[in-house]
Structure 1
Amino acid sequence: MTFTFRPLDPLKDAELLHSWLTHPKAAYWMMQDAGLEDVERAYMEIAADEHQQAYLGLRDGEPAFLMEKYDPAHRELVGLYDPRPGDVGMHFLVPPTDRPVHGFTRAVITAVMAYLFEDPAVERVVVEPDVSNKAVHALNEAVGFVPEREIQKPEKKALLSFCTRDHFFDTHSRNRHSLTATGVTA
């Protein structure tokens, strides 16, 4: 599998995102009742914000997942922890499928992390998934995240976790040569 990333187009990609974000398996994104216009508006706000970006992850050129990155000093975690220079926040969503591929979601999060660490300014990735989302906690641990503590966000109780550049690449040292900005070949 080869993954690439492209900036999300809030209008062009809204219909696809709407189908992903309103699916019951995307409940942790809290957009179950969102209309198409709500999705367009949310991603237009992200596109206009200098502190966050959204990307479509492509598998062999076809949309396969969503990735958002943000500056935790200005979005999502303001006042909830002490950000360090080089911190970047991340969310990702793999949409449901009728034909699951074993290891696909783990390959996606690995590609997302490799992509984020391609930026030499990024030293640590920060995530804040819902404390009850055990599946994503396991994925996070598999790529090198270390939980720090539970925090209370306005919309959820979250598990604040960190993955440093060194810890990520140590976790994937056997495969480091295949981790590139254009994707991960698995």
Structure 2
Amino acid sequence: MNTVSPIILPDALNKGIALQPLSSNSLLVNDHDLSLLLKIIEQDGIQLSPENPSDLPGSIPNHLIAAALDYLYAHHQELNSITLSSELIHRLPDNQLIQTITQDSKALNLRAGLYQNRILWHWANNDHFPAEIWTENEHGVKHPIRQQQPSGVVYERYDYQNDVTISFRTIDPEHDLGLFHQWMNQPRVAEFWEMAQSRSELQEYLTTLLDSGKTWPLIGSFNGKPFGYFEVYWAMEDRIAPYYDCQPWDRGFHLLVGNPEFLGPRFSSSWTKSITHFLYLDDPRTARLVGEPRADNKRLLKLLTPAGWSFVKEFDFPHKRSALVNGYRRSFFQEVRL
């Protein structure tokens, strides 16, 4: 492997994380405070260890090792685990990157464990989960009280497979109104969303969503440039609930890609996996995702498949013939390669 330029990673902690492969078995990862030169040993899988153990600091922050693990999993799609050397694990502040110890005392990070860890990608409410307290809404539907939706960026990840940085942020009804109005009034978008409305109508729509707490409107961006709109909803409070065995923490989303620059398989591969990943990270109680696209929207059904979604059945809403699709936490983290 030739030396390449450093990769600057999205960084919720504002640590300035950079990663640079120096050779096929040498990786430099650093932030504003610390630089680690790591050795990659390919023997019976992969082991990650320090190049010079004597140079290690007394404590190594989790985000640097997590960044190195993410790089290795992205470039070794067949791997389900990576061994961490004893010199590294003894300097980590806790065991959140170690999922199992083997019979021969090797400490393993599991792929499924790393990608359920919020340290690199989830940018809001990292450590707080409300108690499960139930309420009843104005329609007589009983459901858990939902956590308040944060503003700003909520997820950001460098996608090695597609060489893009993807992010999601909560929509701002004033700042984003022009863009939202433009997208909703595109003929190809209006065909499915049926919301080719005025700016004032759309602003009121967004404000109502944000106030309701049951639907979370997000803007998706590639490399900082907005590409699409996502509405994340709790299924129990949504119209889909009566049509399947809905559980309290099931979630779904509606979407549109408004910027035609970001149509195509490279970008769809990134956003389908990333929005799915975000929804599982956002609340670990979410074990299933649901969707109800129009039954004739075969393209969307095809796009969702690599992100672990599958077709369940067709059914009739009052206003359309729909396809019920499901994604499951367990299969996503075991099978989907980010």
Shorter chain as denominator, the TM-score bin is: 0.7 to 0.9
Look up the SS of the partner of 1:84 in the other structure. coil
1:131 correspondence with 2:300: no
1:99, distance to aligned residue in structure 2 (A): 6.9
The CA deviation string for residues 139-177 of structure 1, in whole angstroms up to 9 with x for no partner, is 1222111211112223211101110012222331x43xx
Look up the SS of the partner of 2:331 in the other structure. helix
1:75 correspondence with 2:238: yes
Shift in CA distance, 95/171, structure 1 to aligned 2, threshold 3 Å: farther
Q: Which amino acid counterpart does residue 60 of structure 1 have in structure 2?
A: N
Shift in CA distance, 76/13, structure 1 to aligned 2, threshold 3 Å: farther
1:57 correspondence with 2:216: no
Between 121-130 and 35-44, report the one with greater CA deviation: 35-44
CA RMSD of aligned residues (A): 1.8
Q: Which amino acid counterpart does residue 23 of structure 1 have in structure 2?
A: Q
1:96, distance to aligned residue in structure 2 (A): 4.0
Residue identity (%): 26
1:110-121 to 2 correspondences below 5 Å: 110-119=273-282, 120-121=284-285
Shift in CA distance, 13/154, structure 1 to aligned 2, threshold 3 Å: farther
The CA deviation string for residues 71-96 of structure 1, in whole angstroms up to 9 with x for no partner, is 11112313222211321011121124
- Aligned mates of 2:227, 2:277 — CA distance in 1: 17
1:98, distance to aligned residue in structure 2 (A): 5.0
1:108, distance to aligned residue in structure 2 (A): 1.1
Could you tell me which residue of structure 2 aligns to residue 92 of structure 1?
A: 255
1:148-159 to 2 correspondences below 5 Å: 148-159=312-323
Shift in CA distance, 99/49, structure 1 to aligned 2, threshold 3 Å: closer
Which among 85, 88, 109 is matched to residue 272 of structure 2? 109
1:145 correspondence with 2:145: no
1:100, distance to aligned residue in structure 2 (A): 4.7
Shift in CA distance, 152/62, structure 1 to aligned 2, threshold 3 Å: same
Look up the SS of the partner of 1:163 in the other structure. strand
Q: Which amino acid counterpart does residue 234 of structure 2 have in structure 1?
A: D
Could you tell me which residue of structure 2 aligns to residue 30 of structure 1?
A: 194
- Aligned mates of 1:128, 1:72 — CA distance in 2: 11
- Aligned mates of 1:49, 1:68 — CA distance in 2: 13
- Aligned mates of 1:102, 1:79 — CA distance in 2: 33
- Check conservation: 1:92, 1:109, Cα contact below 8 A: no
Q: Which runs of 5+ in 1 are unaligned?
A: 176-186
- Check conservation: 1:10, 1:47, Cα contact below 8 A: no
The CA deviation string for residues 36-78 of structure 1, in whole angstroms up to 9 with x for no partner, is 2222122111111121111111222221211111111112313
Look up the SS of the partner of 2:236 in the other structure. coil
Judging by fraction of residues, say which structure has more helix. Answer: 1
Shift in CA distance, 87/20, structure 1 to aligned 2, threshold 3 Å: same
1:21 correspondence with 2:181: no
1:162 correspondence with 2:338: no
The CA deviation string for residues 8-37 of structure 1, in whole angstroms up to 9 with x for no partner, is 112221210111122122121122x32222
Bigger relative CO (Cα 8 Å, ≥ 6 apart): 1
Question: Post-superposition, which runs of at least 4 consecutive aligned residues in structure 1 deviate over 6 A?
Answer: none
TM, length-normalised to structure 1:
0.85
1:102, distance to aligned residue in structure 2 (A): 4.4
- Aligned mates of 1:129, 1:53 — CA distance in 2: 18
- Check conservation: 2:234, 2:252, Cα contact below 8 A: yes
- Check conservation: 1:127, 1:160, Cα contact below 8 A: yes
Q: Which runs of 5+ in 2 are unaligned?
A: 1-163
1:109, distance to aligned residue in structure 2 (A): 1.2
